[in-house]
Amino acid sequence: MPDRPLDGIRVLDLTNVLAGPYCTYHLMLLGAEVLKIEMPGRGDLARRLGPDPELNRSLLGASFLAQNAGKKSIELDLKSDDGRATFEELATHADVLVENYRAGVLARLGFPAERLARLNPGLVHCAISGFGQTGPMSQAPAYDQIIQGLSGMMSVTGTPETAPLRVGFPVADTVGGLSAALAITAALAGRRVDGKGRYLDVSMLEASLSAMGWAVSNYLVSGVEPQPMGDQNATAAPSGTFDTADGPLNIAANRQEQYETLCRLVGRPELIDDPRFADREARKAHRPELNRELTEALRARPALEWERMLSAAGVPAARILTVAQAVDIDQVAGRGFIAEVPFPAGDRTLRVSGSGVLFDGEPLTPPAPPPVLGEHNAQVPELLRRWREARSPVPAGD
């Protein structure tokens, strides 16, 4: 394992389920020490979420296992005097605090942002919520599906006949967590210059709108409201899913030279000079006709054969895989993306995902399995001693 950029950074994790835990999981992969504060006897709701009822009953649900390897867990009741006192001391010596309570909940527990900033002027306090801490919807409850609907992403997912459709994974939670992790690392970099902490107010709704790219920018810039197009790409043609001899194939021949190469390789060079398909805009205007012509040619060979042939010639093309197939392809295995850690309190191994980033050629993997609930309760005095003794950050040059 290479030296990791957040080695020595101490993170208090008060988050539940996905957006917050996904954020702190990536901070852990980058080297931070993440201390997960959990409600006594219950813990993170994700401990009870997943397809395996037995794991859920043992408070090790798949949803929890996926996002919490490498973290420490202590049980702390923030509604009790002792729990608040311990939390206050931890917050005084932490570098980062991440929470995804509804707006105002942490303040009602006795720890408004202003008080935390007084206790620890260098603290990077990140609050993740569905809509942000301010605005008319700040008190509304929100899960991923709610944000997907309100952001407009469901309106452009599917075909005109099937939309609106939910994206098949919790993309709003994921984007919210990544946005928070990016903001936290930026705040830590800024703190090295001026020594100041920051209060970060992360809105999953706004993060999702930001991540939607052309679906939002086409409307903001050109006033063109996007429509659901199924597996087709509105910005180019041919760009979408095509039938082959044995299954679907994605092709994204977005540049002119890629289109011309595609036509030659599928044995239809005459399509290059066909006025209906001569340039990008013409191809977009005649997308159905072009797709029919190409599909007829592509049905002559299986998808994997086309994938290899087209990719080798510089035309982006690939089969459509299941999740089970995707996590086991050689490309993923060769980069060490899937890590194996011991199963919590067990004698088997657990496979978890990494970050998708190699540092100096090495993947970042969890140093330990996900914790059982309260696994590190007995270590709190030693942890507090160590955090007290850790040098506080100072501005560069001091």
Distance CA 71, CA 377 (A): 13
Q: How many CB atoms lie within 10 A of CB 209?
A: 20
Distance CA 335, CA 359 (A): 11
Distance CA 128, CA 184 (A): 11
Distance CA 344, CA 64 (A): 11
Distance CA 367, CA 387 (A): 20
Alpha helices in the chain (DSSP H): 19-29, 53-57, 62-67, 81-93, 105-108, 113-119, 144-151, 171-194, 204-211, 214-222, 256-265, 280-285, 287-298, 303-312, 323-326, 330-334, 380-389
Q: Closest Cα to residue 174, out of 356, 372, 43?
A: 356
231 is an active site residue: no
172 in Cβ contact with 208 (< 8 Å): yes
What one-letter code names the amino acid at 41? Answer: G
Q: Identify the residue whose tokens are 């994938």.
A: 307
| Residue 188 vs residues 94, 99, 305, 344: alpha-carbon distances, Å | 12, 17, 48, 31
3, 173, 231, 243: which one is catalytic?
173
58 in Cβ contact with 21 (< 8 Å): no
| Residues assigned a catalytic role | 173
